[in-house]
Amino acid sequence: MLIHFLKRLALTIPTFFALMFITFVAIRLVPGDPVEVRVGERGISPERLAQFRHELGLDQPVWKQFFDYVWGILHGDFGKSLVTNEKVVTEFFTLFPATVELSFAAMLFATCIGIPAGAIAAVKRGSRYDQTLMGLSVAGFSMPIFWWGLLLIMLVAERLHLTPVSGRIDLIKYYFEPVTGFMLIDSLLSDQKGAFKDALHHLILPMIVLGTVPLAVVARMTRSSMLEVLSEDYVRTARAKGLSPARVIGLHALRNALIPVVTVIGLSVGSLMAGAVLTETIFSWPGVGKWLIEAIGRRDYPALQGGVMLVSAIVILVNLGVDVLYGVINPRIRHG
């Protein structure tokens, strides 16, 4: 088991280095450097330009900049934002809880609906329900997040007034200092009545928007995995034993069908992060996605590099966790 884990861990190291290299190069390929973005029509005197570039380390040869950057990261130093002068790590972890809260809610939404929906579709294979569900899941999977988000805002928030438009809490009614950064927890900790309900209310639309793609994936995955399991001998045996259909499906079939679904959920953490970038922008959700978008606009190299590295590290670790967990659930993988 330990060897399996160590092997997996060792495999992540080259991935990290590749990521460091790609983020470093990619942002430098975008035209315009941080100084140019800061300077407008006015232009800048050559002396001041040279001074700026020196202070930001941009006058160093690129290989040296890359070496310093890798050296910094190996020592846990992700640098300081060129815009706010704050440590990238501090900024990241101030905003990260908002992204986690949103992603977690979206995943919960996707699994709570996706698994039962997929299971029922498998059981009623070929029925109208199955066909409708699979059609919907194709639509959900190919849904452009930006369009979907704006559509829901217009329909649900503006027209029907069922939810707030954006943000995490009603700014006029409630005010409390963040303690954990998770609005649901902070609103509970605050003694302000109704704050938790309001925070929950604000979470609904972004949760649905971000959860739509994983929902489609989970539903499809559950269905196909379930179909496979339903034709297994042990399910037939269970049926033959005279167990109730609910017990056969719920206890015997579904539990076994869930193994690949768990893997898919783990793998979707990466795409959730990608989706969060858009969802956060539409819903003014102060998470790392929105922060990274702004960092690109401002050519804030350290924030962007550090931010992408931290997000990637988390995605890789989650996947590693899933791999290991998978090994625990299914011993055949370990030996494979």
Partner 1 sequence: MSKVKKTALGLAAALAVLAPGALGAKTLVYCSEGSPENFTPAVNTTGTSFDAARPIYSQLVEFERGSTKVVPGLAESWKVSDDGKTITFSLRKGVKWHSGINGFKPTRDFNADDVIWSFERQWKAEHPYAKVSGGKYDYFADMDMGKLLASITKTDDYTLVMTLNEPNAPMMANLAMDFAAIHSKEYADMLDKAGKKEQFDQIPVGTGPFSFVAYQKDAVIRYKANPAYWGEKALVDDLVYAITPDPTARYSKLKAGECHYAIAPRPADVPEIKKDPKLQIISQSGLNIAYWAFNVGKPPFDKKEVRQAFNMAIDKPTIIRDVYLGAGQAAKNLIPPTLWSYNDKVQDYAYDPAKAKELLAKAGVTTPMEVDLWYMPVQRPYNPNAKRIAEMMQADLAKIGVTAKLVTYEWGEYRKRAQQGEHTTAQLGWTGDNGDPDNFFFLRGCSGARAGGQNLTKWCNKDYDDMLVKARATPDVAARTKLYEQMQVIEHEEAPDMKIAHSIVNDAAVANLTGYKMSPLGGHHFKGVDLK
Binding site for partner 1 (CB under 8 A): 31-33, 36, 38-43, 48, 52, 55, 82-85, 91, 94-95, 98, 150, 153-154, 157-158, 161, 164-168, 170-172, 175, 177-178, 281-284, 286-287, 290-291, 294
Report the nearest approach of partner 1 to the CB of residue 280 (Å).
9
Nearer to partner 1, 85 or 231 (CB): 85
Report the nearest approach of partner 1 to the CB of residue 199 (Å).
13
**Strand, helix or coil at 171?**
coil
Query: Which residues on adjacent β-strands are paired with residue 80?
Result: 87
**Which residue type is seen at 175?**
Y
Report the nearest approach of partner 1 to the CB of residue 164 (Å).
6
Nearer to partner 1, 82 or 308 (CB): 82
Nearer to partner 1, 98 or 110 (CB): 98
CA-nearest of 264, 254, 269 to 326 is 264
Report the nearest approach of partner 1 to the CB of residue 304 (Å).
15
Nearer to partner 1, 287 or 327 (CB): 287
Report the nearest approach of partner 1 to the CB of residue 180 (Å).
13
- The DSSP string of 49-102 is HHHHHHHTTTTS-HHHHHHHHHHHHHTT---B-TTT--BHHHHHHHHHHHHHHH
Nearer to partner 1, 22 or 154 (CB): 154
CA-nearest of 295, 274, 318, 289 to 99 is 289
Contact partners, residue 196, CB within 8 Å, separation at least 6: 184, 187, 188
